[in-house]
Amino acid sequence: MIFDDDHEAFRASVREFLDRHVRPNVDTFIAEHGWPREIWTEAGKQGFLGLEVPEEYGGSGAGDYRFNAVLGEELAKVSMAMTSCFGIHYDIVAPYLVDLTTEEQKQRWLPGFCSGEIITGIGMTEPSGGSDLASLRTTAVRDGDDWILDGSKTFITNGASADLVVVAARTSPEKKAKGITLFGVEAGMPGFTRGKPLDKVGQTESDTAELFFEGVRVPAANVIGEVDRGFIAMMERLPQERLGAAVSNIAHAAQILAETLEYVKERRAFGQAVGSFQHNKFLAAELVTRIEVSQAYVDQCVMAHKDGRLTAVDAAKAKWWAAEVQNDVLDACVQLYGGYGYMNEYRVARAWRDARVTKIWAGTNEIMKELIGRDLGL
Ligand SMILES: Cc1cc2nc3c(=O)[nH]c(=O)nc-3n(C[C@H](O)[C@H](O)[C@H](O)COP(=O)(O)OP(=O)(O)OC[C@H]3O[C@@H](n4cnc5c(N)ncnc54)[C@H](O)[C@@H]3O)c2cc1C
């Protein structure tokens, strides 16, 4: 109900792209643990990567978060890993590169960002911890006009393939949250290496890797935003990341539930469709209700964000709730498929595995409740 004709026309173009370039090849992407560069450049050609980027730098400057939401929904219906890898780029990194960069950086990075020739990632989490972001240990020490970066990051989406990573590093050790700065670390910088893609429980087709920085010389021209204000920059942008996660969680669960409902109409036991047993009928009714009620809240947050009114607390509510609902719904879907629901060959099984991480990433569900609890004055 929150979308108009322009959004639906955009949705149709996303679907056409997915039908032509992605859906037929998902199994190959899973086997190859990633997306070929051509998918990125094709998405770039279609204008999907630069939704938030002004036209003068190659984007479409849509200026309406509903387009991001439409893209997130459609990608999630096909592959949760695709929402993750592409979402990190067009939805999560984009605001950093658009809002915080200098004119020179915009001209250097944004055209390639929009065309898909520069794939991006963001490195906040470290092996020593992700929830307590203010305690990160990667350091950047000033040396003349440069900064020398030392440390490591882990679980970084697009980590192995990224050409540009926004990296959070400690620049003032004594200042904790007020001593963190963001750097644009580019592929090929001496001392910047990556581990091989991490072996995950789900989302095999997304490339998640460790990043290592050993004396990486990063020019001052690659500082993103103000020195020592990186933590604030991340806090200001995390609500959009969490809303994007909520949007894709509900779209993914809704899609798999729709497919499951078709399955239980066909599959028979004791001479009747398994969906017609009262237990399963009531279960389906509950699942559909949970999805629709959750969708209403997420839509409300999308509209609030479009108008610049989304609070960090409401984004946290949307994120944890949508992740929880998605996991509950998909677990029930696996059950409704019976043994086939446990077979990797079936999409429902992969969806169930792919969804588990959504309670962990973008800030764990516990951290979301911590934010909400604090807002309650507790
Ligand atoms: C597939 C995948 C992709 C990811 N992509 C990225 C990425 O692109 N960039 C990036 O920077 N990070 C990324 N992450 C990292 C993710 O954001 C972190 O895993 C997450 O923030 C949790 O940090 P942690 O794993 O260090 O857990 P920890 O911080 O060690 O937490 C462990 C447990 O303790 C709980 N806990 C911690 N503090 C509290 C508290 N105060 N109260 C109650 N419970 C608490 C947590 O909720 C969790 O259950 C990704 C992770 C995964 C798995």
pLDDT per position as a tens digit, 155-189:
999 999 999 999 999 999 999 999 999 999 999 99
Residue nearest to atom 38 of ligand 1 (CA): 131
Q: Which residue has a Cα nearest atom 37 of ligand 1?
A: 131
- DSSP for 214-241, please give it: EEEEEEGGGEESSTTBHHHHHHHHHHHH
Tokens of 121: 């990632």
Testing ligand 1's pocket by substitution, the residue of 364, 365, 369 carrying the most ligand atoms inside 8 A of its CB is: 364
Closest C-alpha to 116, from 67, 176, 48: 48
- DSSP state at residue 22: I
Q: Please state the pTM of the whole predicted model.
A: 0.97
Q: Angle CA(43)–CA(157)–CA(46) in degrees, nearest 5?
A: 5
Residue with tokens 């440069």: 146
74 is catalytic: no
Tens digit of each residue's pLDDT (9 = 90 or more) over 324-335: 999 999 999 999
CA dihedral 223, 226, 231, 232 (to 10 degrees): -140
Q: How far is ligand 1, taken at its centre, from the CA of residue 125, in Å?
A: 7
Cβ atoms within 10 A of the Cβ of 124, count? Answer: 20
270 CB burial (10 A radius; 0-12, 13-18, 19+): exposed
Ligand 1 contact via 157 beta carbon (within 6 Å): yes
Mutate to test the pocket of ligand 1, among 88, 90, 155 (most ligand atoms within 8 A of CB): 155
Under-70 pLDDT residues of the chain: none
Considering only CA atoms, which residue is closest to atom 43 of ligand 1?
366
Q: Tell me: the pLDDT tens digits for 230-267?
A: 999 999 999 999 999 999 999 999 999 999 999 999 99
370 lines ligand 1 (CB under 6 A): yes
For residue 304, the CA-to-ligand 1 centroid distance in Å is 26
C-alpha distances in Å from residue 87, one per residue of 76, 79, 176, 187, 351: 10, 12, 29, 20, 17
